[in-house]
Chains A and B, each alone.
Chain A
C-alpha cells in the first residue's frame, strides 16, 4: 500500500510526515490517511458486492434454475444489498468527507482524530463477521437486506445472530464517524468561514451526519428486538404474544428512509461542487440548496410507511404517507433546477467528473420520478415488491450515489495524488458505465410494470427478453469498473503533475493547498474573507 503515499518526499511537510510501513495505516490519526483507508475499503466492498450482483444477473439471464440454488440466491440478494449499502456507499462518502471536509473548511484535521481511526477500523471486522456467515451452517442471512420479521426471526438461519452483532458494531462505527464530522464542521472552521459560506459538500455532510446519529441507534434498537425475539423468548414481532410483525417494518423503515437519504445527500453535495467548476459559474441558488437539503432531511423522518403501503395501514395513514412523500419532490426539484440553472449559459467543458455529474442529474431525476410513481399509494399496490421497485432504487443508488462517488474521486484524485488523470480512459469508463447502467436497469421498469416479483431466482417466460438484456448490461457495467480501478492506480503512479488549482474553474480552500495535499494542511488556519 506504500504506493498510496500521497505526501511524496520533499513535499510541503509542516510537521512530521507519515510513519512508514503498515503501522502508518493501523495507528494513523491523519484525516487523509483515514479517508484513503475508507475509500480503498469501500472499493473492495463494491467489487465483492458487484460480483454477487453479477452472480444474481447470471442466474436471471434465462428462465429456470441453472447456476445457483434458490436458497443461495436469497443469500446473494441479501448480502449484495447489505454490502453495497453499509460497505460500499456509506464508507465511500465517509472517506470523501474525511479527505475533503477539513481541507474545505480550513481545519488542521478531524475534531477527534483517534476516534476517527476507530470508526474506520471497526468496519473491516464488522464485514469480516458478516461475510463469514456465508461459510456457516445454514448459510448467510437470506431474508433480504430489509430483514423483515418473521423471515429474519422465526425462520432465520442461525447466522442471523452474527448479522445482528455485525450491525451493532458497524452502527457504532457510523455514529462515531458522524459525531466526528459534526464536531469538525461546527467547531473547526477557519476564522471567517461562516456557516453560509460552507461549501455545499460540507453542508450536505453536516445534515447527513445528523441523520446518521438520529437513525443508526434506531437500527440498533430493531436488531436488538430481533435478538430478544430469537433467543430470549420475547414477542415483539410475534402476534401470538401480542406483538406485531408490522412493528418490525415501522421501526426498520424509521431508520431505513433517512438511511436512503444518508446515501444521497452527500451525492448532492459532490455534484454541487463539480457542476459550478466545469460551468465556470457560481452555484445557482446557494441558500436555497442549503434549505432544500435540510427540508429533505426533516421530511425523511415523516415518510417511512410509504415502504409499507400494502401491509394494511389505515386509510388515513396511507394518505398521510403518500402526500408527505410527494412533498419531498419539492425541495428535490429545487435542487435539480439549481443544477440546471448553474449550467445555463455557463462556459461548459465536459471532463470526466463533469460527465458523471451531469449523468447523475439526469439519471437520478429518472429515479426520482419512478419514486413519485411509487409514492402514489393506490398505484403502489400494483408495483409493490416488483422489479419496478428494484429499477427505482438502483437508479437512485447506482447512477445516483455511485456515479457521484466516481465523480468525486475523479474530481479530487489529482488533489490527493498530485497527478493528472488519464482523461480519455476516464471518459471511456464513463460511457461504458452510462450505457451499461441504463441497459441493466431501464428494462427492469418494464419487468416490474408487467408484474415480475423481486428476489426470485426464476421467472415466467414472458419476462425472458428483458432479463437477458439486463444481464448483458450488468456485465458491461460491472467489467467497465475495472477501467475505474485501472485509472485510479494509473493516477497514483503517474508522473504527470498538476497545479494546486487542478481544474480551471475550481474555487475554495481545498484548491489553495498544493497538489498533492501535504500530510498536514491548515495547521495555521487560513482566514476566509
Chain B
C-alpha cells in the first residue's frame, strides 16, 4: 500500500469555475431559446448564449483533459489515482443506465398499463366518456385525440435499417476490444487500425439513424407529435443517438491520442474508459432494438 503516500491532490484549478459559467450559459440560454421558439418570437439572445456556452465548455474540456494528460505523463498519478478514475467512470456509467431506465420504465408503463386502461381495461370508464371510439393497441397507431396527435401511418421495419444498425454496433464493440487487445500487446498500428474501424462503424450507424429519422418524418408520419408511440420512440432512440455521437467523438479523441503516441500497455485508462462507454451504448441499443423496434 505504498501508493497511499503519493496520492496526487492538484493545487488550485481554474477549469471548474469556468465550466460552471459555461453550464450556466448553456442552461439559461437553452431555456431562453426554447421559450423564444415556442412563443414564435425567434431565437433571440438564447441561441447566442447556448453557442457561447458550448464553445466555452468545449475549450474548457480540451484544457482540463490536457492538464490531466500532462499530469499523467509527468508520473504524478499512482495506482490509487487510477482506481479513483475507474470508480468515477463506473459510477458515471451507472448514472447513465438509470437515465435510460427512466425512459424504458415509461415505455413499459404505457405499453402494459396505461394504454390498455385508456382502452377501458379494468372498468375504467373515464376515457370511454372522453374518447368513446378509442381502442387500445400497441404500437398505438390511433391516439385517443387523433386530430391533435395524428398517429403514425406506418412504423419503421425492424428488419432493415435497425437490424443493420444492430450488426454495426455489435461489430464495433468487438473492434474496440480488438484495439484494446492490440494495445495490451503494444502493437500500435493495429490499435489505430481497429480504433479507426470502430469510429467508421459508429459514424455509419449515425448516418443510418439520421436517414431513418428523415424517412420516419417524411414517409411514415412517425413524428414527435404522433402520440405516445412517437414520443417514446424518439426519446429513446434520440438519447441513444446522442450518446453514440458523444461516444464516437470520444473514440476520435482516443484515436488521435494513439496517433500522437499516447498510452502504453500498462497505463491507458483514458482508452479503457471510452471503450466502457462504447460497450454501454451498445448494450442500450440491444434493449432498444428489442423493446422499441421488434416487440
B11 touches A29 (CB 8 A): yes
Kindly list chain B residues whose C-beta atoms are within 8 Å of the C-beta of A244: 109-110, 114, 117-118
CA distance A179 to B94 in the complex (A): 10
Kindly list chain A residues whose C-beta atoms are within 8 Å of the C-beta of B228: 235-236, 241-243
A108 touches B7 (CB 8 A): yes
B189 close to chain A: CB less than 8 A: no
Contact with A along B64-101 (1 / 0, CB 8 A): 10000000000000001001100110011011101101
A117 touches B13 (CB 8 A): yes
In chain B, what residue has the closest Cβ to A255?
A: B102
Question: Among the listed stretches B144-152, B204-212, B251-259, B262-270, which one makes contact with chain A, having 4 or more residues with CB under 8 Å of it?
Answer: B144-152
Which 9 residue pairs across A and B have the least CB separation, nearest first? A221-B102, A118-B16, A241-B149, A240-B145, A242-B228, A217-B99, A234-B231, A244-B114, A233-B225
Knowing A112-B88, A186-B87, A191-B4, the reply to whether A217 touches B27 (Cβ < 8 A) is: no
A464 close to chain B: CB less than 8 A: no
B133 close to chain A: CB less than 8 A: no
CA distance A19 to B229 in the complex (A): 56
Given A27-B16, A247-B109, list of 10 further CB < 8 A pairs?
A: A107-B7, A108-B7, A112-B88, A164-B31, A179-B92, A188-B80, A225-B103, A225-B231, A228-B235, A247-B110
A112 touches B84 (CB 8 A): yes
Can you pick out 10 interface pairs between chain A and chain B where the beta carbons lie within 8 Å of each other?
Answer: A117-B13, A121-B20, A166-B27, A175-B92, A175-B95, A218-B99, A242-B140, A247-B106, A251-B102, A524-B4
Kindly list chain A residues whose C-beta atoms are within 8 Å of the C-beta of B183: none
Kindly list chain B residues whose C-beta atoms are within 8 Å of the C-beta of A239: 118, 127, 130, 144
A216 close to chain B: CB less than 8 A: yes
CA distance A129 to B223 in the complex (A): 32
Kindly list chain B residues whose C-beta atoms are within 8 Å of the C-beta of A246: 114
Knowing A182-B91, A232-B224, the reply to whether A169 touches B27 (Cβ < 8 A) is: yes
CA distance A213 to B1 in the complex (A): 29
Contact with A along B144-176 (1 / 0, CB 8 A): 110011000000000000000000000000000
A64 close to chain B: CB less than 8 A: no
Q: In chain A between 106 and 134, which residues have their CB closer than 8 angstroms to a CB of chain B?
A: 107-109, 111-115, 117-118, 121-122, 124-126, 128-129
CA distance A525 to B5 in the complex (A): 7
A161 touches B143 (CB 8 A): no
A217 touches B102 (CB 8 A): yes
State which of A19, A111, A231, A241 has its C-beta within 8 Å of the C-beta of B231.
A241
A242 touches B106 (CB 8 A): no
A445 close to chain B: CB less than 8 A: no
Knowing A241-B148, A244-B110, the reply to whether A108 touches B231 (Cβ < 8 A) is: no
B34 close to chain A: CB less than 8 A: yes
B115 close to chain A: CB less than 8 A: yes
**B273: shortest Cβ distance to chain A, in Å?**
13
Q: In chain A between 162 and 184, which residues have their CB closer than 8 angstroms to a CB of chain B?
A: 162, 164-166, 168-169, 172, 175, 178-180, 182-184
Kindly list chain B residues whose C-beta atoms are within 8 Å of the C-beta of A215: 98
B10 touches A114 (CB 8 A): yes
B28 close to chain A: CB less than 8 A: yes
State which of B12, B14, B34, B95 has its C-beta within 8 Å of the C-beta of A217.
B95
B227 close to chain A: CB less than 8 A: yes
Contact with B along A15-32 (1 / 0, CB 8 A): 010010001101111000
Kindly list chain A residues whose C-beta atoms are within 8 Å of the C-beta of B114: 243-244, 246-247
A347 close to chain B: CB less than 8 A: no
Most buried by A among B13, B27, B148: B27
Knowing A161-B35, A215-B98, A225-B235, the reply to whether A117 touches B16 (Cβ < 8 A) is: yes
CA distance A445 to B155 in the complex (A): 54
Most buried by A among B15, B91, B224: B91
Number of B residues near A (Cβ < 8 Å) is 74
**A131: shortest Cβ distance to chain B, in Å?**
12
Knowing A235-B227, A243-B228, the reply to whether A214 touches B102 (Cβ < 8 A) is: no
Knowing A117-B17, A118-B19, A165-B27, the reply to whether A236 touches B106 (Cβ < 8 A) is: yes
**A382: shortest Cβ distance to chain B, in Å?**
23
B214 close to chain A: CB less than 8 A: no
B105 close to chain A: CB less than 8 A: yes
A254 touches B105 (CB 8 A): yes
**A154: shortest Cβ distance to chain B, in Å?**
12
A188 touches B10 (CB 8 A): no
**B162: shortest Cβ distance to chain A, in Å?**
21
CA distance A175 to B131 in the complex (A): 42
B122 close to chain A: CB less than 8 A: yes
Most buried by B among A109, A113, A118, A242: A242
Kindly list chain B residues whose C-beta atoms are within 8 Å of the C-beta of A254: 102, 105
CA distance A218 to B114 in the complex (A): 20
**B61: shortest Cβ distance to chain A, in Å?**
12
Knowing A217-B96, A228-B235, A247-B109, the reply to whether A27 touches B20 (Cβ < 8 A) is: no
A190 close to chain B: CB less than 8 A: yes
**A172: shortest Cβ distance to chain B, in Å?**
7
A224 close to chain B: CB less than 8 A: yes
B98 touches A111 (CB 8 A): no
B109 touches A28 (CB 8 A): no
Kindly list chain A residues whose C-beta atoms are within 8 Å of the C-beta of B80: 187-188
A158 close to chain B: CB less than 8 A: yes
Most buried by B among A121, A184, A312: A121
**A517: shortest Cβ distance to chain B, in Å?**
15
B31 touches A161 (CB 8 A): yes
Knowing A109-B9, A217-B102, A247-B110, the reply to whether A231 touches B115 (Cβ < 8 A) is: no
A222 close to chain B: CB less than 8 A: yes
CA distance A55 to B267 in the complex (A): 58
Knowing A188-B7, A218-B102, the reply to whether A240 touches B87 (Cβ < 8 A) is: no
A89 close to chain B: CB less than 8 A: no
B84 touches A235 (CB 8 A): no
In chain B, what residue has the closest Cβ to A183?
A: B87
Most buried by B among A128, A190, A220, A244: A244
CA distance A168 to B26 in the complex (A): 11
In chain A, what residue has the closest Cβ to B83?
A: A187
In chain A, what residue has the closest Cβ to B46?
A: A161
B84 touches A183 (CB 8 A): yes
